[in-house]
Amino acid sequence: MDLALLERTLAERGEPGYRAYQVWEWSSRGAASYEEMTTLPKALRATLTESVPFSTLELVTERESRDGTVKALFRTHDGHSVEAVLMRYRDGRRSVCLSAQSGCPLTCTFCATGAMRFGRNLTASEIVDQALHFRRLEQIDHAVYMGMGEPFLNFDEVITSTRRLPDLGITHRRTTISTVGWMPGLRRFVDDVDQPIRLALSLHAADPAKRSELMPVNDRYPLADVLAECRRYVELRRRKVFVEYVMLGGINDSAADARALVSVLDPRAFKVNLIPYNPTGMYEGSSRQAIERFKSVLERARIPATVRLTRGRDIEAACGQLASVR
Ligand code: SAH
């Protein structure tokens, strides 16, 4: 819901100031229409239904994976595609994976989103509406900005959207923003954002030449600078940074690659999350043995490492598989 439009519409009608809050309270708790908002006068509900679209996004399709993961494809009013994912875990956690942009202008070679045409930055309302969509299905308690796009290329709208999530049941401590290491945004995140939002860094190769090959953005913002900024985050917030590392067979998964990673990471500042490669056509995923070997090199160096659970692969909802046209 476009909250600015909502407030304007209410003000034009001379409605009392608390109306906008009432509407937000209903929506953030999962109401599916203005009609359900029984504390609003009936005539007002009808006006809002006509003049303020209930969501800034139109749902195009929705699919559910065998593991319970749900992927939704939306369209913005101006025709851009946006995908978001609901992940359901056995321990009861419900995590939404949100997109910050339609498509992505960066061209990481292993990611399907980078191969689709870049649309535009999403507004804060368009980001929150992805979460609200799933909130209408069930309670949600975690959010990761790991969908389409680079959150720090859309800094203001992303941060504005995070401020709305606690009302949906997602605290800042359970909110994670993932970045390729886009320095202008990362710096502002470390300097200006006081909320205890978690930070994740997509690293993927410690060797500069190798990282540049996988992630061209590395030429612009070298890893050493990015890691220094992450350490500053850890010092200020006293929370570790998650390092994401997608395991590509024969590319970045050798014991030497693991040692290179150890050499750039301070165990007091980072935890590593190894991500099994989700097929996008370009690479082979690492074998289970290669992933275990990599993990044990990290652990011997006392760097905590976990292997990410793969969710929603059968519906192309897994990491790196979000792309509305393929
Ligand atoms: N642009 C931000 C936010 C997207 S996060 C970032 O890159 O951090 C999406 C995560 O999925 C990133 O860590 C990305 O590197 C990873 N990823 C991309 N393609 C993947 C693939 N094919 N298999 C597994 N993980 C992938």
The number of residues making up the chain comes to 326
Please give the chain's pLDDT, 326 residues, in tens.
Answer: 999 999 999 999 999 999 999 999 999 999 999 999 999 999 999 999 999 999 999 999 999 999 999 999 999 999 999 999 999 999 999 999 999 999 999 999 999 998 888 999 999 999 999 999 999 999 999 999 999 999 999 999 999 999 999 999 999 999 999 999 999 999 999 999 999 999 999 999 999 999 999 999 999 999 999 999 999 999 999 999 999 999 999 999 999 999 999 999 999 999 999 999 998 888 999 999 999 999 999 999 999 999 998 889 888 888 888 887 54
Q: Report all structural domains of the chain as residue ranges with CATH numbers, in order of start.
A: 1-54 (1.10.150.530), 60-315 (3.20.20.70)
Identify the active-site residue in 7, 15, 83, 244: 83
User: What are all long-range contacts of 307-311, with beta carbons under 8 Å and residues at least 24 apart?
Assistant: 307/273, 307/274, 307/275, 307/276, 308/244, 308/273, 308/274, 308/275, 308/276, 309/89, 310/276, 310/278, 311/65, 311/67, 311/69, 311/85, 311/87
Mutation to probe ligand 1, out of 83, 111, 158 (largest number of atoms < 8 A from CB): 111
The amino acid sitting at 164 is R
CB-based contact 112:322 (threshold 8 Å)? yes
Three-state SS across 171-216?
A: CHHHEEEEECCCHHHHHHHHHHCCCCCEEEEECCCCCHHHHHHHCC
Q: Which residue's alpha carbon is nearest to atom 19 within ligand 1?
A: 320
- 276 token code pair: 């099994």
CB-hemisphere CA count at 13 Å for 276? 15
CB-based contact 119:150 (threshold 8 Å)? no
- 146 token code pair: 């790991």
**What residue spans of 193-281 are helical by DSSP H?**
208-214, 217-220, 223-237, 255-264
Neighbouring C-beta atoms of residue 53, cutoff 10 Å: 16
What pLDDT sits at residue 192? Answer: 97
- 165 token code pair: 């999530």
What DSSP letter does each residue of 1-53 carry, written as one string?
Answer: --HHHHHHHHHHTT--THHHHHHHHHHHTT--SGGG-TTS-HHHHHHHHHHS-
Identify the active-site residue in 97, 108, 230, 319: 319
What pLDDT sits at residue 325? Answer: 56
Q: Which residue's alpha carbon is nearest to atom 5 within ligand 1?
A: 146
The residue assigned the tokens 């992933």 is 291
Chain centre to alpha carbon of residue 315: 18
What pLDDT sits at residue 326? Answer: 40
What pLDDT sits at residue 320? Answer: 86
Going from the Cα of 322 to the center of ligand 1, the distance in angstroms, rounded, reads 10
Q: Is the CB of 253 under 6 A from ligand 1?
A: no
What lies within 8 Å, CB to CB, of 152 at 6+ separation is 158, 177, 179, 182, 184, 185, 186, 188, 189
Predicted TM-score of the model (pTM): 0.97
Q: How far apart are CA 76 and CA 58, in angstroms?
A: 6
97 as an active site residue: the answer is no
